[in-house]
Amino acid sequence: MDTEGMGSNLAPSETLYSMSAIVCISSDTPDGRSPPSRLQLYKPAFYSTGVDWFVPVWVKIDCRRGKRWGIVFKCLTTRAVHLDLLESMDSDAFLMSLRRFIAHRVKPYEILSDFGTNFKDGDLELTEAFTSMSPEIAQQLTKQKIHFKYNPPYAPHFGGCWESEIKSIKHGLRVVLGDQSVAEPVL
């Protein structure tokens, strides 16, 4: 084997080993396949949606400062993004944000999120409301049910698609706002 240009001080067996160690797989999973939620080609945008909270932002409320949290809805197929601003990080705030998202965009078939209690409680509230309906109404609304899927606990890298979007949002807010707080309608 020709080792020219690769460093003449390496033995041929070391050169083969170092060349075989360079592997590039363009995928999100270890086995080289993309997850099924990324391959929904003929489905509408936000059919498979990733959801997560991001850092509190300081806003002016009358003469005082208050915190507002952001939530990002990321389409896993088209990479479209929907942002919303919330007053708290509880399940009620998540459900209201989900209602606004559905009103503005479309009802997602599945929502992928981390193992946060606010997302789990929101899913539980929706499931309880669905099961408490009369059987006739529940049968008619079966197509409207949203399927929640959760990342394993303590594994934020499973949501890398929307986590990288949150990183970009944080950076943009830091550059534009700095340390100043702005009125809530500005955000």
Residue 104 pairs in a beta bridge with none
Which CATH architecture best describes the domain 45-186? 2-Layer Sandwich (3.30)
Task: Indicate the pairing of strand 182-183 with strand 64-75.
Answer: unpaired
Per-position pLDDT tens, the chain of length 187: 444 444 445 444 444 344 444 443 344 445 555 666 666 666 778 888 888 888 788 888 888 888 888 899 998 888 889 999 988 888 888 888 888 998 898 888 888 888 777 777 777 877 787 777 777 776 666 677 788 888 777 776 677 777 788 888 888 888 888 888 888 888 7
Indicate if the alpha-carbon torsion angle 44, 123, 98, 179 is positive or negative.
Answer: negative
Contact status, residue 150 vs residue 119, Cβ threshold 8 Å: yes
* Global pTM value: 0.70
Strands 110-113 and 48-61, sheet pairing: parallel
CB 158 within 8 A of CB 152: yes
> Which residue in this structure is represented by tokens 């929706």?
126
The predicted pLDDT at position 16 comes to 39
For position 6, what pLDDT does the model report?
Answer: 47
Q: Where are the domains of the chain?
A: 45-186
Question: By C-alpha distance, which of 161, 147, 167 is closest to 73?
Answer: 161
Backbone angles phi, psi at 73, to 5 degrees: -110, 120
Give the pLDDT of residue 73.
Answer: 92
pLDDT of residue 1: 47
Q: Which of 64, 168, 87 is nearest to 176 (CA)?
A: 168
Ordered DSSP codes for 78-94: T--EEEEEES--SHHHH
